[in-house]
Amino acid sequence: MTSLRAHAAAGDLLTGFAVVPSLLRDDAAYTNVVREQANLIVAENAMKWAALRPSATRYDFDDADMLLNFAEQGRMKMRGHNLLWHRGIPQWFTAMATPANAKQLLQAHIETVVGRYAGRMHSWDVVNEAIQISDGRPDGLRSSPWLRLVGDDYIEVAFRSARRADPQALLTYNEYGIEAENAQDEAKRQAVLLLLRRMRARHVPIDAVGVQSHISAGTKYGDGLLRFIRGVRELDLQVFVTEMDVNDRSLAPAIAARDATVAQTYKDYLDLVLSEPAVTVIVLWGVSDRDTWLNHEDSRQDRVPERPLLFDDRFRPKQDFYAVRDAFDQRHPVHPSLNG
């Protein structure tokens, strides 16, 4: 009753982790934390194109099937991540895709993958990270392989294909770099809102926006992000925090001080976003510090392992855990039986 999932449920929130199938199979401590703490999971990598499509003619659903069965057995919901991204594209696709066949390849992939799990998924990240202001387009779209091969309606094609395959799952546009109080993130927020308004005007089926929330310890987040979330809510869309972690790369290496700053950043950020009723999902991008992606990509210059997640490398809850749980409670007072 003191778990994240219990405190989240008391506030009508879903919460959980990005998970790795091999760890769920082989690591009992990892598996126990996920079972105890999450009411929602998402595949960290197992449902991306490169994982599902070893060749043009073969799908490999073993890991994805395992994750969904694990979720259902544990009375959890599951998010799908992701159906379209400029990264993680298989080599065979790069070799064979042309402007003449790319749209059909995209539609077939989405309809096959989403159709396999129709009626069982909470939501899908249909399109991931489609905005890149520095590419210089007036609409803000990234100059991705999808844009070049399919055309500037590729996002609409993806969402309509997903809705045909599953009328029930919530369809999400997922984006990073829209959280901070600076000109770069503000420009990206405005471009995302422009994209969403265009989609709404064309009756493209979309239900939610994912704010990834890979954020930095000690950074203050505020009005710009709140305005964005309110803008999304005004379009009658939900907001999911989809990939939250707090990197500590700018902090001195002392563990106690790092942990305190990371925990406070979690609390301040979640207090901010959970003040908005449109926010209904909080997902942590990983379970323990042992397995965080942050130690492999854009890691600390001093090579000290980062401590960005709620559990340490021995799966003991850290200050972050209690900070996140307190933020859940702050939004909606919990039932007395959950205090402890």
Active-site positions? Answer: 129, 243
- Residue 340 in any domain: the answer is no
pLDDT at 161 over 80: yes
Question: For 181-219, what is each residue's pLDDT tens digit?
Answer: 999 999 999 999 999 999 999 999 999 999 999 999 999
Question: For 64-84, what is each residue's pLDDT tens digit?
Answer: 999 999 999 999 999 999 999
Question: Residue 117 belongs to a domain with what CATH number?
Answer: 3.20.20.80
- Residue 115 in any domain: the answer is yes
Cβ(184)–Cβ(177) below 8 Å:
yes
* Cα distance between residue 82 and residue 48, in whole Å: 5
Write down the pLDDT at residue 332: 65
How does residue 340 score in pLDDT terms, banded at 50, 70 and 90?
A: very low
Question: For 86-143, what is each residue's pLDDT tens digit?
Answer: 999 999 999 999 999 999 999 999 999 999 999 999 999 999 999 999 999 999 999 9
Cβ(306)–Cβ(258) below 8 Å:
no
Cβ(301)–Cβ(262) below 8 Å:
no
**pTM of the entire predicted model:** 0.95
Question: For 13-71, what is each residue's pLDDT tens digit?
Answer: 999 999 999 999 999 999 999 999 999 999 999 999 999 999 999 999 999 999 999 99
Question: For 310-334, what is each residue's pLDDT tens digit?
Answer: 999 999 999 999 999 999 999 865 4
Write down the pLDDT at residue 338: 38
Work out the angle between the directed axes of helices 102-116 and 154-165 (0-180°, nearest 10).
30
Task: For tokens 């259902």, name the residue.
Answer: 72
pLDDT at 337 over 50: no
How does residue 299 score in pLDDT terms, banded at 50, 70 and 90?
A: confident
- Residue 44 in any domain: the answer is yes
- Residue 16 in any domain: the answer is yes
Nearest to 199 by CA among 255, 156, 135: 156
Nearest to 266 by CA among 330, 193, 335: 330
- Residue 339 in any domain: the answer is no
Query: How many degrees, rounded to 5, is the angle at CA 177 between CA 172 and CA 181?
Result: 120
Name the domain count of the chain. Answer: 1
- Residue 38 in any domain: the answer is yes
pLDDT at 1 over 80: no
How does residue 11 score in pLDDT terms, banded at 50, 70 and 90?
A: confident
SS3 content of the chain, % helix, strand, coil (to 5): 45, 15, 40
Cβ(209)–Cβ(173) below 8 Å:
yes
Task: For tokens 């500037």, name the residue.
Answer: 152
pLDDT at 267 over 90: yes
3-class DSSP assignment, residue 304:
coil
Half-sphere exposure of 115 (CA within 13 A, CB side): 10
- Residue 19 in any domain: the answer is yes
User: Which residue segment(s) compose the domain that 222 sits in?
Assistant: 4-334
How does residue 255 score in pLDDT terms, banded at 50, 70 and 90?
A: very high
Residue 43, φ and ψ in degrees, nearest 5: -70, 130
